[in-house]
Amino acid sequence: MQHVDFMHLVRLSEQACESDARAYRRSVWWFAALGYAAVIAIGLAALASLLALGWAWRQRGFSGWMVWPGLAAAALLLACTRALLIRFEAPEGFRVEPADAPRLFDALERMRRRVKGPPIDVVLIVPEFNAAAVHQPRWGLWGHTNYLLIGWPMLCSLEPRRLLTVIAHEYGHLRGEHGKFSAWVYRTRSAWARIQERYQHDDSPLSWLFSRFFAWYFPRFYARTFAMARQDEYEADRIAAELCSAEVVGQAYNEIQVKARWYDEEYWLAVWRRAALQDKPEPLPHAEMQAALLQPPPPAFAQEALRLALQRLPTYDDTHPVPRDRLAALGQKPQLPDWSQHNAVSWLGAAAARAARHFDTLWWQEMRRDWARHHEHLRRCKQRIDTLKARTAQLDADGWLEWAECFEALSGADSSAFYERALRCEPSHPEAMRGLAARRAQGADPGALDLLERLQAEHVQHGYAACSMALELLDRVQHAGHDVTAKTRRAWRERLERFETLEAQAWQAFSSAHPCEHAVAPRLKDSERKLLTEALIRTREVEAGWVCGKQVGVMPGRAYLVLFVRLKRLDEARANAVVRRLMQLPAFAGLLQVTVVDLHVRERQMIEAGAQPLYQRAAR
């Protein structure tokens, strides 16, 4: 299906949901039933073929021609059975019992009585900055278990009443028949996605049959259910506002937008920088979170995080509404909140210390060898800085850039001086210009525009990045209260459009081909290899990673890369989240394609393409 057709179907589903929600949900049910009916019909046809072959064998005796039809029918029946009986693994985490956390379970019981919803059967604390409610089948079609997952970082960041709004939102997804139906639709969507991924790269006749059907069916099913999934998010917000007040929900949401970005971008970076001084982090990171995540983020970071959250636009890749729309639906303003003064960890009672130890033990078992490698890397950075210091008078631009990279690995302090020295040696050095402009732009320094002007004019391969940084800088400057003329903004937008066209042509050539086609040896500097490795280390879902280069005729001077990752647990939703996260690495923007082994490509194809091992997580 073409993307424009998919978007059209999504808009139709949104219109149908708005005009008659009940009729819309009935149409979703019937279309979901069509998928099951098709699989059942194919399975019954396969079973009938096997029975006919058995009857022929009994009446006329065995004949050689029966072998291949019998194998094909058996394989088809097995595939249909597997499609109908796809298992969903139960969530994992640190289980909390009512005796451990009576205040938390009392709050959950009060919430259940007020909305007349189903009970929460299992409460799990998980290591992600997130919360979720999972409606899990227990015995096939009969019985379900309701899980509530609360992220440990979120417990450490929010005061109890704000955390309660998050729980209320997730609980809203379980309430009533709509909650059960939405959960069933979500599981169905995940199951069909798995089947489509499983068969779309297989060349067998059986796979051709399934892939053709699901290539037609799944995009239409996803488009039909999109509006329902997004509407359920608004409904869950409404329930949370009824229980806790819209004002508290808005405060919690604003605080989460800032602290979640701080957690992702700054907290773990600071933890790993401690490897320069410590053989083992003390205190361990999850124990430290109880105090660290309660601290207000720096004002400049908080303002920037909120601005970026409000800039997000709705997409059809994510059923969650964007922050601006969610706050508007609640009647709340996007603004920095009064930060939580105490966190909700106290709700866990005696279980809090055990939960922190649990996550820190798992983290250290998983990261011990990675920490040792990073400790050694930072030690080498120190040594390299000492070597470069001794040769200061002889350093060229690349030497100063290397010093900057080592300095940034060890410290979060401003590294602009190193890029300035590099430009004194070579005024048109593209990486030095881009590095200095980026650091000045972070401080909303309008002087960075002059550097970006030169960068886009002299180095076409950096033109799109330069224009994007310039427009981002103009937004920051304007957000800080300074005037930005329409002429200046228009000039940069026109440049960006020109570079967008060129980049689109290059990206289309890069991403449209199979990840293993046109593969070449990767052109990676040691620092870039380290950045990729560190990203994989921080992405705990990744078990192993490989990298190869890719040749793109539209922009032959650029080093494109394909990063192959294998996940510890293969799950389509988890895989998409990992791909999105890794694709956002700033240093590789527009240069990196991430693909999941055994989901998007086979390991054999990757090896034949010459992918080089990059990272292997140590076994516990």
- CATH code of 585's domain: 3.30.460.10
| Cβ contact 433:420 at 8 Å | no
Name the domain boundary from 62, 85, 108: 85
Taking the CB of residue 108, how many other CB atoms lie within 10 A of it?
Answer: 20
| Cβ contact 239:168 at 8 Å | yes
Low-confidence ranges of the chain (pLDDT < 70): 1-4, 83, 85-88, 137-143, 175-180, 182-184, 186-187, 190-211, 556-557, 589-590, 620
| Cβ contact 129:150 at 8 Å | no
User: How many structural domains compose the chain?
Assistant: 3
My answer on whether 54 and 16 are in the same domain is: yes
Which residue type is seen at 61? Answer: G
Structure tokens at 346: 């106290």
pLDDT of 288 reads: 96
Q: How far apart are CA 443 and CA 436, in angstroms?
A: 11
My answer on whether 518 and 500 are in the same domain is: no
In-domain check, residue 73: yes
My answer on whether 556 and 610 are in the same domain is: yes
In-domain check, residue 7: yes
Give the model confidence (pLDDT) of 117-136 as tens digits. 788 899 999 999 999 888 77
My answer on whether 413 and 494 are in the same domain is: yes
Question: Rounded to whole angstroms, what are the CA distances from 293 to 256, 261, 262, 340, 577?
Answer: 11, 11, 9, 10, 23
* DSSP conformation class of 562: E
In-domain check, residue 137: no
Name the domain boundary from 85, 103, 118: 85
Nearest by Cα to 326 from 195, 230, 463, 205: 230
In-domain check, residue 452: yes
Polymer length of the chain: 620
- Which structural domain range is residue 562 located in? 513-616
Name the domain boundary from 510, 529, 558: 510
Question: Could you give phi then psi for residue 159, rounded to 5 degrees?
Answer: -75, 160
My answer on whether 566 and 462 are in the same domain is: no
